[in-house]
Amino acid sequence: MSLGSSTSQHYKVGIVGASGYTGVELLRLLAGHPYLDLVVATGDSKAGTAIADLYPSLAGHYKDQKFQAFEPEDFDGLDLAFIGLPHGLSMDVVPRLRGKVGKIIDLGSDFRLTDPELYPQWYGANHTHPELLGEFVYGLPELFRDQLIGAELIAATGCNAATSTLALTPFVDGGYVKPEGLIVDLKTGVSGAGRPPKETTTYCTVSDNVAPYAVLTHRHTPEIEQAITARTGTEVSVLFTPHLVPANRGILATCYAEPKEPMTSEQAIEILADFYHGEPFVVVNERVPTTKVTVGSNTVHMSARVDPRTGRLITMASLDNLMKGASGMAIQNANLALQLPEDSGLTTIGVYP
Mean pLDDT over residues 300-306, rounded? 98
Q: Is the pLDDT of residue 219 over 60?
A: yes
pLDDT tens digits along 309-331: 999 999 999 999 999 999 999 99
pLDDT tens digits along 2-45: 455 556 799 999 999 999 999 999 999 999 999 999 999 999 99
pLDDT of residue 3: 58
66-71: long-range contacts, CB 8 A cutoff, minimum separation 24 = 67/18, 67/19, 67/41, 67/42, 67/43, 68/40, 68/41, 68/42, 68/43, 69/42, 69/44, 70/16, 70/42, 70/44, 71/42
pLDDT of residue 64: 92
Q: Is the pLDDT of residue 188 over 70?
A: yes
Q: Is the pLDDT of residue 192 over 70?
A: yes
Q: Higher-confidence residue: 7 or 131?
A: 131
> Taking the CA of residue 89 as centre, how many other CA atoms within 13 Å lie in the half-sphere pointing to its CB?
12
Which of left, alpha, beta for 64 (phi over 0: left; psi -120 to 50: alpha)?
alpha
Evaluated on CA atoms 60, 65, 70, 76, the torsion sign reads negative
- Whole-number Å distance between alpha carbons of 136 and 151: 8
Mean pLDDT over residues 233-250, rounded? 97
Mean pLDDT over residues 92-103, rounded? 97
Give the total residue count for the chain. 353
Known catalytic membership, residue 255: no
**DSSP label at residue 174:** T
pLDDT tens digits along 39-83: 999 999 999 999 999 999 999 999 999 999 999 999 999 999 999
pLDDT of residue 1: 47
pLDDT of residue 43: 96
pLDDT of residue 6: 59
- Whole-number Å distance between alpha carbons of 136 and 142: 17
Q: Which of 36, 54, 80, 159 is catalytic?
A: 159
pLDDT of residue 2: 45
> What are the structural domains, with CATH classification, of the chain?
11-157+324-337 (3.40.50.720), 160-320 (3.30.360.10)
- Residues 172 and 232: beta-carbon distance below 8 Å: yes
Q: Which segments of 133-214 does DSSP mark as H helices, in order? A: 141-148, 159-173, 203-206
- Residues 262 and 203: beta-carbon distance below 8 Å: no
pLDDT of residue 5: 56
Has this prediction a pTM greater than 0.85? yes
- Residues 102 and 82: beta-carbon distance below 8 Å: no
**DSSP label at residue 178:** -
Query: Could you give the dihedral angle defined by the CA atoms of residues 77, 82, 88 and 93, in that order, rounded to the nearest 10 degrees?
Result: 0
Strands 182-188 and 238-244: parallel
Mean pLDDT over residues 117-146, rounded? 97
Mean pLDDT over residues 278-295, rounded? 97
